Amino acid sequence: MTSLPKRWPRRMGLSLLVSLGVLLMVLRFKILPDFDAKSNRSLSSGPSEVSKTIQSLHDSAFVADLHADPLLWKRDLRKRIRHGHVDLPRLQQGGVDLQVFGVVTRVPKGTNYRSNTDTDRLGLLFLASWRFPTTWWSAKARAVAQARELRGLGRGSDLSLVLSRNDLEKDGLKGLLALEGMHALEGSASALHTLHRAGFRMMGLAHFADNAVAGSAHGLKKHGLTDLGKSLIPRMESLGITIDLAHASPAAFQDTLKLAGRPVVVSHGGVQGTCPGPRNLSDSQLRQLAANGGVVGIGFWRGAICEVTVDAIVRAIRHAVAVAGVDHVGLGSDFDGNTTTPIDAAGLPLLTRSLRASGFSEADVRKIMGGNVRRILSANLPE
């Protein structure tokens, strides 16, 4: 048998490195953008024409969206892009004062609204977006990496980050970091302080699977707060972190409201009264949320409103207001959360127009479009 040349291992290694580099380039610049574009669509994209009266109302209101996921996709948010829902130019065109940036750290395989195991399919996405290798498997590393990216965006643009109550009062576009599910704690209470130092000021207890803190509305057991979860509620409040009950199981929802001393949010969801489904709040939950002083952010996608139209968003808002009161309803678009929505961020004046056309007063429109969110965050954020 003829022996292989001594140079063969080097040539083979170099070939493998080149092949890996080409694969990463294809993943980063072709497959990831294509997947992003197919996953995040709006039926009407871009700025929207409204009357001068409506535009004046919209411009003078504090406009806040409680949940969007553009950080997941590693776009350059300083530039307007042709797909997805959120970038800084479109937020500014849409008159947004505060965008809450959700940070996704773990998504199960075969994700559905009914029942999910605690598996993970995000590793390839973080590999494809050229993030540090620890993010390929660690939920905590993914949270810290996305927080770092938002801080970098704040340094390189007109976006300012909200870390304290005073930051909320600054002029211009502001961003607030929110954790979507406490998988990123990886079972350790000490990780709460690490994530707080990284800039997180809102935290959801669960995402699509049960975890060591709380059950998910989409988990296997859908349990309530664990002992760890119960211990974290007062710690989060003392740090000025707003608790988010989106995706929480009914049992975890109840357990949290028994312990909460500050207003909570359901950052993005719908209401059973207009769109039945496991993600959406019952009238009883809406009344409990109101009693806590909290706010539900009405979502813009089919799972929240059943019909992907601005009119369907308004119907859900009207029901939530009828049950919980106008002081307890806001916006929670779920832009860029693997969703199709009727508008993107630039189209938010259309929602102001539809709210006025449906009979809401100017004062009530101001509350719904963001005034209620500002009130809660002002109460919860640290000095």
Mean pLDDT of the chain: 93
**Whether residue 1 has pLDDT greater than 60:** no
Query: What is the CATH number for 224?
Result: 3.20.20.140
- Domain residues for the domain of 135 are 40-380
* 122 three-state secondary structure: coil
Q: Supply the pLDDT for residue 29.
A: 55
Whether the Cβ atoms of residue 184 and residue 108 lie closer than 8 Å to each other:
no
pLDDT of the residue at 176: 98
Instruction: Please enumerate in sequence order all residues whose Cβ is within 8 A of that of 172, keeping only pairs 6 or more positions apart, or say none.
Output: 97, 158, 159, 160
Asked whether the predicted pLDDT for residue 23 surpasses 70, the reply is no
Segment 20-37 shows an average pLDDT of: 66
Q: What pTM value is reported for the model?
A: 0.92
Give mean pLDDT, residues 278-286: 96
The pLDDT value recorded for residue 105 is 96
93: in domain? yes
Total domain count for the chain? Answer: 1
Measured between alpha carbons, how far is 314 from 248 in angstroms, rounded to an integer? 24
Q: Is 81 domain-assigned?
A: yes
| Dihedral, CA of residue 316, residue 288, residue 328 and residue 335, to nearest 10 | -50
Identify the pLDDT of residue 3: 56
Beta strands in 314-379 (DSSP E): 329-331, 340-343
Residue 51 confidence class, pLDDT cut points 50, 70, 90: very high
Distance from C-alpha of 381 to C-alpha of 202, rounded to nearest angstrom? 9
Q: Over 60: is that where the pLDDT of 27 sits? A: no
pLDDT over 80 (residue 6): no
- Give Dmax over CA atoms of the chain in angstroms: 88
Whether residue 219 lies inside any domain: the answer is yes
Q: Is 23 contained in some domain?
A: no
Q: What confidence score (pLDDT) does residue 38 get? A: 92
**Residue 46: pLDDT band with limits 50, 70, 90:** low
∠ CA(344), CA(198), CA(232), 5° rounding?
A: 95
Query: Within a domain: residue 32?
Result: no
Asked if the structure places residue 134 within a domain, the reply is: yes
What is the DSSP track for 163-223?
-SHHHHTSSS-EEEEEEESGGGGTT-TTHHHHHHHHTEEEEES-SSS--SS--BTTBSS--
pLDDT per residue as tens digits for the range 299-334:
999 999 999 999 999 999 999 999 999 999 999 999
CA distances from 208 to 156, 182, 218, 289, 382 (A): 33, 11, 5, 21, 29
pLDDT tens, position by position, 237-249: 999 999 999 999 9
Q: Is residue 252 part of a domain?
A: yes
Is residue 138, in this structure, part of any structural domain at all?
yes
pLDDT of residue 5: 58
Tens digits of residue pLDDT in 199-223 = 999 999 999 999 999 999 999 999 9
Span of 18-27, 67-76, 94-103 with lowest mean pLDDT: 18-27
